[in-house]
Amino acid sequence: MTRPGMREYVLLLLLALMWGSSFTFIKISVHAYSPLVVACGRLSFAALVLWCFALIRKSDMPKGKRAWASTFLVALIGNAIPFFLISYGETRVDAGLAAILMSTVPLTTVVLAHFFTDDEKLSLGKVIGVVLGTIGVIVLVGPETLSGLGGEFLFQLAILVAAVGYAISSLVARNLRDQPRIGSTAVILTFAALMLMPFTLILDQPWNMTWDFEGALAIMYLGMFPTGIAMFLILQLIAVAGASFLVFNNYLVPAVGVLISFIVLSEVPQPNALVALAIILGGIAASQMRFGRKSGPVKGDGAKSDPMASVMEVPEGNENGEKAVDPHRV
């Protein structure tokens, strides 16, 4: 695993911009449609968009049993379940508290990566990054927001479980580092949409819901950007910079949300927002520092010892004996 360069930082910021805007559009969509319909709708539209990209680019599909098993798991615990749980949780949990709950993703990921990977071990820089990132989020939303913890327990628990799902799926996705990015993304989103579709059709019967143009547009936006393109960027960043780098995006998301409000709604950020952004950026920078060690790629393929060994272990080539795909390949 190599240290991220400027390209990876730009992609991380782009991902944060997409996710930072998603909370607003989730709020719009759940006012018109049920959480299940929103989750299934955004996944279905995202899958359609990615299949179009895959056909245009003539992208290959994932190869090997491990790759297909990994796409299924990422679809389940990194898309289908979290999308429903977050949509459900946000019906009763405000955005500030949701941001704090989601900030557990980096902590969970770096700890799991330390025990289950060879090339993403816990370091002093990552510890400092997690601490600063969490402090930055709390400064941004206000310490008083913490007083809401436990108030709507089931709804808060739903968001927390979604956060853990994201952490685990980011490690499972390491197994797709040698697979075509566009094809893998299309398969993941298709699996996720198919997982939710039966529940959506049987339980919510969306054809009986009142058509809402604004809500439908919100779902399409969620599918195109914070879901489809975002999933592609996730696989790209994990392949090049690792899961531990990717998850620090969760600290940027609420800060970017404030920036979007300033640009779109002309809402002047409070001083605490600027302080929080500085702390978060400092945390991300610290997470990539090598205190007392020489920087550089980790020797070995770095893909072994991942969680769920039978699924996660990555051979030197793929199962067909082909050479591994370059990390920058799409």
Sequence-distant (≥ 6) Cβ neighbours of residue 10 within 8 angstroms: none
Determine, yes or no, domain membership for 91: yes
Going through 95-252 in order, the beta strands assigned E by DSSP cover none
Q: Taking 80 as the threshold, does the pLDDT of residue 317 lie above it? A: no
Determine, yes or no, domain membership for 170: yes
Token representation of residue 114: 């330390």
Are the CB atoms for 311 and 76 separated by under 8 Å?
Answer: no
Q: Which residue has the higher pLDDT, 95 or 16?
A: 16
Least trusted range by pLDDT, from 5-19, 123-137, 273-287, 316-330: 316-330
Are the CB atoms for 172 and 312 separated by under 8 Å?
Answer: yes
Determine, yes or no, domain membership for 287: yes
Instruction: Give tens-digit pLDDT for 88-117.
Output: 887 888 777 787 788 888 888 999 998 988
Q: Which residue has the higher pLDDT, 177 or 330?
A: 177
Determine, yes or no, domain membership for 158: yes
When computed from its CA atoms, the radius of gyration of the chain, rounded to whole angstroms, is: 19
**CA 314 to CA 327: how far, in whole Å?**
14
Determine, yes or no, domain membership for 304: no
Least trusted range by pLDDT, from 58-67, 70-79, 115-124: 115-124
Token representation of residue 138: 């709390």
Number of domains in the chain: 1
Determine, yes or no, domain membership for 313: no
Confidence band of 74 (pLDDT split at 50, 70, 90): very high
Q: Taking 60 as the threshold, does the pLDDT of residue 67 lie above it? A: yes
Average of per-residue pLDDT across 45-68 = 95
**CA 294 to CA 297: how far, in whole Å?**
10
Domain interval for residue 165: 6-293
pTM score: 0.79
Determine, yes or no, domain membership for 240: yes
Determine, yes or no, domain membership for 176: yes
Instruction: Give tens-digit pLDDT for 139-171.
Output: 887 777 677 777 788 888 998 999 999 999 999
Q: Is 9 exposed, middle or buried (0-12, 13-18, 19+ CB in 10 A)?
A: middle
**CA 244 to CA 108: how far, in whole Å?**
10
Average of per-residue pLDDT across 255-261 = 72
